[in-house]
Amino acid sequence: MRRYFFFILLGTSLTGAAPGPKPHPQIAGVVSEISAQKIEASIRKLVSFGTRHTLSDTTSEAHGIGAARRWLQAEFERYAKDSGGRLEVTMDEFTQPPGERNPQPVQVVNVVATLPGEQAEARDRIYVVSGHYDSRVSDPMNATADAPGANDDASGVAAVLEMARVMSKRKWDATLVFMAVAGEEQGLFGSTHWAKMAQEKNWNVAGMITNDIIGSSHADDGKIDDQHVRLFAEGVPPLQEMPAKWRQQTKTGGENDSPARELARFIKTTGERYVPGMTVNIIYRKDRYLRGGDHSPFLEAGFAAVRLTEPNENFKHQHQDVREEEGVQYGDLPEFDDFAYIAQVARINAASLGALALAPAAPAGVEMETKELTNDTTLHWQENREPDLAGYEVLWRETTSPFWQHELSTGQVTRFTVPRISKDNFLFGVAAVDQDGNRSPAVYPAPSAK
């Protein structure tokens, strides 16, 4: 009896932490089913094609990028069978005109597996997760030398395959797109093609995660860190001409509340809740210093997109000819991958994508009321019509804090006042919540004309 009483106390007041939403059993199931062994097998298979250079052989069944993509297609199709035919596999093929890193036109193929959402009102909302299956050595034009690309980026592709395998057996409200793209190393060809197509077709890509170099927990100085992953998230893009939406965002101090950074906060909170022991380090930058990846074209197309990468890159194992020099092994070999670590990063992805695809859409038309000068804060937004909607939450934090500090449930309303908390002193966001407690990412309010 005494012990029971103590437990209750510990569980409620002594920790001081606000109770987070309960883990969703379907997401917990996905996280526990992700297998490091399956990821290792996929990486070793991808490495076995010798090179996956975008300009490499496409006709051999055992060697080059053509064999690699046919294997990827067959893998996705296997999962499609297990999904009861719900997972749809397509080869998104196009001709890339000649450019700096492809003197001849080249056929580029993205291998894409789409799991349509089960809820009619949410099916148009799409979340994309990607890795790039092409690889390279020291010379970006060398299409014949062995380019194992075990980390860059078989690690990301293997994680995407594993997510597709586990998540496609289950049902989600919104649509999930699992993508292995090509042409990354030659100039982001595959991701650019798909992101532009999505923009032209007006698809609602509500979030995108690219996994690129998530393979190693060993730093070049020998330190081991298998408990962190870097999440790169852009704020306001450095455009020559600032569009009105970004001007409005910066005018009100919202430079850290771009959709990509709201997505990053969501991934950190969700990933860390479902994968204990892992920390997601958000970096307020589009990518590593002056470098790029497959999330870049999605950002340029106006979608919220972020990049996951291991904590410490080893440049002896990246974009290098496989060789030994003065007793040092160079090259992107599978022996430098940590398959258990990659599985942890895949779990962070899967938990986040699952939570996004079960949650309602982030509220639209979120505005801060500014007509009257007051020390209260009033926000309004458009009604969300998804059938499982429970209501909304208003979140806020100090302007110097990176993460939400306070939240209030509003119930089923589309206008809410937080009394005695001034918009002058805090940053606000509004999220939508469903009946199971799944919460959308937050939306930064635009100042209302009214």
By the criterion CB under 5 A, which residues form the site for Zn ion?
Answer: 152-153, 212
Of 206 and 346, the one with the shorter C-beta distance to Zn ion is 346
Query: Min. distance of Cβ 193 from Zn ion in angstroms?
Result: 17
Query: Min. distance of Cβ 137 from Zn ion in angstroms?
Result: 13
Distance of alpha carbon 341 from alpha carbon 347, whole angstroms:
10
Of 234 and 367, the one with the shorter C-beta distance to Zn ion is 234
**β-pairing verdict for 377-380 and 415-418:** antiparallel
Q: Which two tokens stand for residue 224?
A: 């081991």
Q: Which two tokens stand for residue 444?
A: 């930064």
Of 212 and 337, the one with the shorter C-beta distance to Zn ion is 212
For Cα atoms 153, 158, 163, give the angle at the middle one, nearest 5 degrees.
Answer: 130
Query: Min. distance of Cβ 5 from Zn ion in angstroms?
Result: 54
Query: Min. distance of Cβ 202 from Zn ion in angstroms?
Result: 29
Where does 173-273 show beta strands of DSSP type E?
Answer: 175-181, 204-211, 228-232
**Residue 128 Cα distances to 306, 361, 441, angstroms:** 11, 15, 15
Secondary structure class of 356 (helix, strand, coil) = helix
Query: Min. distance of Cβ 151 from Zn ion in angstroms?
Result: 9
Sheet strands side by side (includes 415-418) = 415-418, 377-380, 367-368, 446-447
Of 40 and 152, the one with the shorter C-beta distance to Zn ion is 152
Q: Which two tokens stand for residue 425?
A: 């002193």
Query: Min. distance of Cβ 293 from Zn ion in angstroms?
Result: 6
From the CA atom positions of the chain, what is the Rg in Å?
23
Secondary structure class of 54 (helix, strand, coil) = coil
Of 153 and 162, the one with the shorter C-beta distance to Zn ion is 153
DSSP 8-class letter at 179: E
Of 152 and 313, the one with the shorter C-beta distance to Zn ion is 152
